[in-house]
């Protein structure tokens, strides 16, 4: 066996599972953390044999978990409107534990705003462009850059 | 930091098996002869480890041979666990589990272990020389002994039933005391 052989997948799960669950709670909120982590482990398993080296596997699992949290958030149906929709506080309504705000807190406001418009308000790029006062193409670019920044931020 | 719930781990492992993502599945099992690590590959049990064997190295060996997607699941291994537990707790049936000798590369060693698995039943014993003969090389009793010493699936491939022609109980990968316990369990001593 060479020094770069991939370790048995479950050794990683047993070594880092607890801290990954804590990470999933931070990025997805306590109620979604276990589903997100389960999804993340399966994504990681699918990709595992194709990894080209065995370096930074812990950081890689953090990144996969963050991505699973973002995708889960994106795909989750928006909550049913209550009888009296609040005029403000839409962020709290969609994500009562504020996990999303906590997730994006380290980013500059220029990255946070596109992320909120896309993932919290669930707007399409035309509407995001309108809110940001830029072209649709530029709105798409700003969301994509912000997601990448977020992933890099949580890959450490 | 709260620990990962067992239910989550089982759900991941079951989904992995269902989706064909697992190269091997393992389980840890408490028995009267100590904790065993049992690893199942696509065609049967590939590895059984006694508690003295370092788990990391054992699983790394499996990963190197079968692939790195090694997962743990008591649920997916439930039938195997039940069969081994019943056997070691004194049940009187044979231990009839599918075996995969994929970790044995030398052809003669593999032939010896196949012969042993197929022909030496519970309650019987055989000498290294007789086992070598049955495997097609009557003079190769040393090679037969070496095959048994390096058996990756002890208990299931019953190398404890192979004794030296000169008498006595002989050696065993899991220690001579375990060999004696297994043979007494089977009524062979």
> Is A45 close to B71, i.e. CB distance below 8 A?
yes
**How far from chain centre, in Å, is Cα B60?**
17
Distances A31 to A72, A96, B169 between C-alpha atoms, Å: 12, 11, 58
pLDDT value at residue B57? 95
What is the spatial distance between Cα A42 and Cα B142, in angstroms, rounded to a whole number?
Answer: 46
Q: How far is B26 from chain A (nearest CA, A)?
A: 10
pLDDT value at residue A78? 55
pLDDT value at residue A126? 82
List helix spans (H) across chain B.
6-18, 55-66, 78-88, 107-119, 128-134, 141-149, 176-185
Q: pLDDT-derived band of residue A92, with 50, 70 and 90 as boundaries?
A: very low
B147 Rama class: left (phi>0) / alpha (psi -120 to 50) / beta: alpha
What would the mean pLDDT of A96-120 be, rounded to a whole number? 76
Name all domains of chain B by residue range, CATH numbers in brackets: 6-88 (3.30.160), 107-185 (1.10.10.10)
Q: Per the domain annotation, does A87 fall within a domain?
A: no
Q: Per the domain annotation, does A30 fall within a domain?
A: yes
Tell me: the pLDDT tens digits for B88-133?
998 888 898 999 999 999 999 999 999 999 999 999 999 999 999 9
pLDDT value at residue A34? 96
Q: pLDDT-derived band of residue A98, with 50, 70 and 90 as boundaries?
A: low
Coil vs helix vs strand at A5: coil
% helix, strand, coil for chain A, step of 5: 70, 0, 30
CB of A59 less than 8 A from some CB of B: no
Q: Per the domain annotation, does A95 fall within a domain?
A: no
Here the CATH number for the domain that contains residue A156 is: 1.10.10
pLDDT value at residue A132? 84
The length of chain B is 189
Domain that holds residue A26: 8-76
What is the spatial distance between Cα A91 and Cα B163, in angstroms, rounded to a whole number?
Answer: 74
Residue B22 tokens, joined: 């697992």
Q: Per the domain annotation, does A81 fall within a domain?
A: no
Residues A51 and A12 in one domain: yes
pLDDT value at residue B1? 67
Nearest to A45 among B1, B8, B21 (CB): B21
Here the CATH number for the domain that contains residue A43 is: 1.10.1740.10
Residues A13 and A68 in one domain: yes
What would the mean pLDDT of B63-79 be, rounded to a whole number? 96
Residues A15 and A60 in one domain: yes
Which residues partner with B25 through β-bridges? B40, B71
Q: Per the domain annotation, does A86 fall within a domain?
A: no
Q: Per the domain annotation, does A88 fall within a domain?
A: no
> Is B9 close to A17, i.e. CB distance below 8 A?
yes
Q: Is the pLDDT of residue A97 over 50?
A: no
- Tally of structural domains, chain A: 2
CB of B4 less than 8 A from some CB of A: yes
Phi then psi dihedrals of residue A70, to 5 deg? -65, -45
Residues A19 and A62 in one domain: yes
Domain boundary among A76, A97, A124: A76
pLDDT value at residue B25? 98
Q: Is the pLDDT of residue A96 over 50?
A: no
Q: Per the domain annotation, does A47 fall within a domain?
A: yes
What is the spatial distance between Cα B138 and Cα A45, in angstroms, rounded to a whole number?
Answer: 47
Catalytic residues of B: 159
Q: Per the domain annotation, does A91 fall within a domain?
A: no
């Amino acid at each position: 066996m060479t020094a770069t052989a991939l370790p048995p997948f479950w050794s990683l799960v047993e070594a880092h599972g607890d801290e990954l669950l804590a990470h999933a709670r931070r990025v997805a909120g306590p109620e979604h953390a276990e589903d997100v982590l389960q999804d993340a482990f399966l994504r990681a398993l699918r990709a595992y044999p194709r990894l080209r080296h065995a370096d930074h596997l812990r950081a890689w699992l953090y990144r996969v978990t963050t991505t699973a949290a973002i995708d889960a958030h994106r795909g989750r149906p928006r909550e049913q409107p209550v009888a009296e929709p609040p005029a403000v506080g839409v962020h709290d309504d969609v994500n009562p534990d504020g996990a999303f705000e906590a997730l994006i807190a380290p980013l500059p406001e220029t990255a946070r705003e596109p992320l909120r418009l896309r993932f919290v308000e669930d707007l399409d790029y035309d509407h995001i462009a309108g809110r940001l006062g830029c072209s649709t193409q530029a709105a798409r670019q700003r969301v994509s850059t912000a997601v990448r920044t977020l992933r890099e931020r949580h890959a450490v | 930091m709260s620990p990962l719930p067992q239910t989550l781990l089982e759900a991941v492992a079951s989904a992995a098996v269902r989706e064909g993502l697992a190269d091997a599945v393992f389980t840890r099992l408490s028995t009267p002869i100590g904790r065993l690590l049992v690893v199942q590959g696509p065609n049967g049990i590939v590895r059984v480890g006694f508690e003295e064997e370092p788990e990391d190295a054992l699983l790394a060996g499996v990963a190197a041979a079968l692939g790195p997607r090694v997962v743990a699941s008591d649920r997916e291994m439930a039938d195997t666990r039940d069969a081994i537990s019943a056997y070691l707790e004194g049940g009187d049936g044979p231990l009839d589990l599918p075996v995969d000798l994929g970790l044995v590369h030398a052809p003669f060693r593999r032939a010896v272990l196949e012969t042993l698995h197929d022909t030496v039943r519970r309650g019987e014993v055989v000498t290294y020389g007789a086992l070598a003969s049955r495997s097609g090389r009557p003079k190769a009793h040393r090679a037969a002994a070496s095959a048994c010493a390096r058996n990756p699936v002890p208990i299931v491939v019953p190398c404890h039933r192979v004794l030296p022609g000169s008498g006595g109980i002989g050696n065993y990968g899991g220690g001579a005391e375990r060999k004696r316990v297994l043979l007494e369990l089977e009524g062979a001593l």
